[in-house]
Amino acid sequence: MNKGIIQLIIIIILSVIILSLLGVSLRALFTDQTLKENFMFVWDFVLHAWGTYVSPYLQTLWQKIQELR
């Protein structure tokens, strides 16, 4: 368990270092309204696709698995 947490912390630190070297400001990214709207659009699409296409098939598959028991 500790190994995974340490790896996650190292990945986050390296990501921040790489973004800094590329000249990307995290503060500017998180305050940019256009970026927020784009993420909201993508998230709404993912929720719609999950509810419309993925979830019904997974529920059917789960029911079939339960019937096999």
Give the residue extent of every domain in the chain. Answer: 1-31, 32-69
pTM, two decimals, is 0.56
3-state secondary structure of 4: helix
pLDDT in tens, 13-62: 999 999 999 999 989 888 999 989 999 999 999 999 999 999 989 999 99
Which pLDDT belongs to residue 23? 94
DSSP, residue by residue, 5-69: HHHHHHHHHHHHHHHHHTT--HHHHHH-HHHHHHHHHHHHHHHHHIIIIIHHHHHHHHHHHHHH-
CB 63 within 8 A of CB 56: no
